[in-house]
Amino acid sequence: MKLQMGVRQYEIDDFVCTGSDKKGHSSVVSIRIPPEIEGRVSALLAERVFPYSTFSDFVRDAVYHRLDDLAVMKPQLKGSIHPIILLQNLRDQETEKGVWLETVERIGQRIKNMTIWEAKTFLGDQLEQMQKAPDTKARDWAIQELNKIAEKIPV
């Protein structure tokens, strides 16, 4: 029996419901979804129109076929970036810079009550740790700021 789904036709055997591969291997995955989607899937399952016995059957089939859809879309998107991804990248950068800013401020506050030797040692340790962090503009900015603080400590 052929079923029309968008531009694609499916056979009843195209529904992917098994919980493991041919060798019996599987992975457990847990997700959160909005209640509205859970309700829609539950209603669909209750109709017993499709060959899904469980919520997991539906999710497996949806993920399997969505991966196929994305594989078709991927070549069309090469070299372009979706505005949502750009926005997320900006948010991530702002969050990272905020974390580094807070780190620099805390280090600055902490060394105020230290002796010169303690402050220099502490700053050296912090700079060494920062160098091990992933190389980003925010990290480089934080290192520059700590170096400025270190320059203000008397010799």
Average pLDDT across the chain, whole number = 85
Specify the higher pLDDT residue, 8 or 143: 143
- Please write the tens of the pLDDT for every residue from 24-64: 888 888 889 899 999 999 999 999 988 888 999 899 888 88
Kindly report whether the global pTM for this prediction surpasses the value 0.85. Answer: no
Task: Give Cβ neighbours of residue 57 (< 8 Å, ≥ 6 apart).
Answer: 17, 51
DSSP one-letter string for 13-79:
GG----SS-TTS----------HHHHHHHHHHHHHT-SS-SSHHHHHHHHHHHHHHHHHHHHHHHTT
Is 15 within 8 Å of 51 (Cβ atoms)?
A: yes
